[in-house]
Structure formats: structure tokens, C-alpha cells
Amino acid sequence: MGLSAVVRIDLPYVIADTDRHGNVRYYFRRRPAKKVRLPDRPGSPAFQRAYEAALSTKPAETAPARVKPGSFAAVMQAYLASPAYKKLDASTRGWQARALKEIAADKGEHPIAMMQPRHVRRLRDAKAAETPAAANTMLKALRALFRWAMEEDLVEADPTRDVKRAAYVSKGFHSWTLDEVEQFEARHPVGSKARLALAILLYTACRREDATRLGRQHVRGGRLRYVQAKNEHRKPVEVDIPLFPDLADAIAGVPAGQLTFLMTEYGKPFTVAGFGNRFRAWCDEAGLPHCSAHGLRKATAARLAERGATPHEIMAVTGHQTIEEVQRYTRAAQRAGLADRAMALLACDAPGPTGGEGKGPTGVESLKTKENLGAVALPRGLEPLFSP
């Protein structure tokens, strides 16, 4: 049966084949093992059971392929076995390894010392033809590889240094509105696993990988304290926030002795990918296909900004390490507030933009005042560049 498309979804080793009739079938494929058919669709209990069973099966061990010393593949293998790589968090190790192995599959035998910026740009552009975001992920992985190789004196130059990221326009994850939260709550009642997941994500602004690890051991003295999973082995960030009343009510029903608040049907903690996939299904059930788990983190940060929280206050909740990261979430909220204040100034004691005889910015009195001020000498060193 011919395939019209091969689609990758957000689960390791899972692919979706679409045949000429438009039927989508999901498979687990972890080379060198053969691909295994997965039942139903992502998010369903049957799919999750089959996926977790396939993921827990250890692949057959094969002898490592012989590589040429000094080749891209040889340096890549050394990096993936290095302490520096092993200190990275699991998700970072995952996308770096996937990106580098994809390059090595085609360019592995080439001498790494011969790689030039033009070669990196070609790799970037070829990947950008698929998705620009994937191209930038590949570039990040290459930069990590060459930074390590430079430290180890395996290469003399970093060809990725002056290569720019692939340019593309993206609004990122959709930020949930209050109406969308209410719509989700209407579909998933109090006491359901979906409702508990919503409360954890919304009232902590945590990431998926943190939501899957939080449990009663993190609640002490009316506060939620935990170390973020992201960069925990390199630059650990401790989050210490008050336990929001709605979240306290949601977790009160979690059985005592349960390792994490969120558990699978088999009494085990969710994997990060598995939880993201399940939350995706819960959103779909609520008629919110455009919403996601990460969108709740964005929504909470934006809501804090709308209510006047400073960037540093928001960082204390979300665990971001730089103001620039927070500004990505709060930009729209701050812009709306600034616009409100600006329009209030425009409307203050003025009939409208045409001014007339009013006192607004274009009113007659305002213009006359500007004319009078124009004759006042400026402090020395601040003279106008041109005389009137």
C-alpha cells in the first residue's frame, strides 16, 4: 500500500503513516528493531499501554559500528559518551542525540575538521525546508558538539559560530484564555485526572517534566518547593511558591502514599512525552485542539503580568533565569496595559484627536504651549541640531 505522507509526532520513536485513502496508522520504530503497530490513536488508553510496553522493551544490543578516527561520527560518539553530555537533563540529551545522529547518518564518515560554515548553512537550509524550528534545533546540537570538541582539542575552529538561526515567524504556544479554562473544567469535573493536571499546570506555571514529578513530598508548610527538571544537573533552579488554594483542594483527593500527584492507569508516574500526549487528548475532548500544557504556563505568566507583577516576581514563580525569557510571555500583556494608559492620556480633558479648542495633545492650547516652549533655550550641550 502506497504512502502519501509520513508524519512525526511528539513522542520518541513514534511515526504516523498516512496511506492513499487518508487512513492514519501509528507505529513504534526504534532502529535496528522492526516497527511495531500501535492501536487506536495517541492519547487513548490502548495506545498508551502499547506505547509504554514498546518503550520498556530493551532493544537488541548490536556491536558499535567502526568509525574513522577524526570523522564526524567518531567525535559525535565521543561527545555522547562524555561526562559533559551525561550531565545534561534527559530531554536535552534526547534532542541533541537525535539531531547529531541524523547528520551522522549521511555525513558521519567526513572529517570533522573539514566542516566549514558553508556546510553548516547547507545542513540548516536543508532542514529548514522541512521545519525551521527543527533546523534551529539541529544548529543548537551542532554548536554544543563543537563547543565540547574545542575544549577537548579535537577541532581547531567552530564552524557554527557565525551561522545564523533559520528565520521564521511563530507566535509559539497559544496562551489559554479564562473562557478556555472554564471550557476545559466544564468537560472534566473535579476529581478527574484531567482536572488535577489542569490545576497543577495552571497554579504552578510548571513545565510538563515538572508536573510529572510533583508529589506530596514537595508540599511543606503551605508551600510548594521543588527543583526544576530543566538544567537540574547543570544550573539547578529551586522554585518555592505558596500553595494556591484551588491547587490545595485539587491535590487533597490524591491518595496518601502515591509517589506523584499524576499517575497512569497502571499506578506509575507518567513519562514526560506520555503526559503531554494524554493532556493533548484531554484538550481535544474539551473541544480545545489549539490549547496545550505549555500554553497554561504561558497563560499564568501573562496573567501575572496583567495584574502588575514585576518580571522578577514572575521569574520567582516560573523559575525562568533571565528577564528576556519572561518577556516572551508577558510582551502582549504589557503592551495592552501600556496602550490603555496611553489612550487614557489622550482622552484626558480633550474632545478628541482633532483638538478643536480643547486641551488635548492636538488642541489649540496645546499647540500654542508648544510654540511658547520652542523659544526657551535648552541647557548647553542639548541645542537643537537645526535652527527653526
Q: How far is CA 5 from the centre of its chain?
A: 26
Rounded to a whole number of angstroms, the distance between the first and last alpha carbons of the chain is 79
Q: Does the pLDDT at position 338 exceed 50?
A: yes
Q: Does the pLDDT at position 262 exceed 90?
A: yes
Q: Which of 107-111, 304-308, 333-337 has the lowest mean pLDDT?
A: 333-337
User: In angstroms, rounded to a whole number, what is the distance separating the alpha carbons of residues 220 and 117?
Assistant: 52
Using one digit for the tens of pLDDT, what is the confidence trace for 174-188? Answer: 889 989 999 999 999
C-alpha cell at 388: 527653526
- Using CA atoms, how far residue 202 sits from 106, 178, 252, 361, in Å, is 43, 11, 16, 43
Share of the chain above pLDDT 70, in %: 82
User: In angstroms, rounded to a whole number, what is the distance separating the alpha carbons of residues 352 and 322?
Assistant: 41
Using one digit for the tens of pLDDT, what is the confidence trace for 275-289? Answer: 999 999 999 999 999
Q: Which of 13-17, 94-98, 295-299 has the lowest mean pLDDT?
A: 13-17
Minimal CA–CA distance to 123: which of 163, 183, 79? Answer: 163
User: In angstroms, rounded to a whole number, what is the distance separating the alpha carbons of residues 176 and 228?
Assistant: 23
Mean pLDDT score of the chain: 83
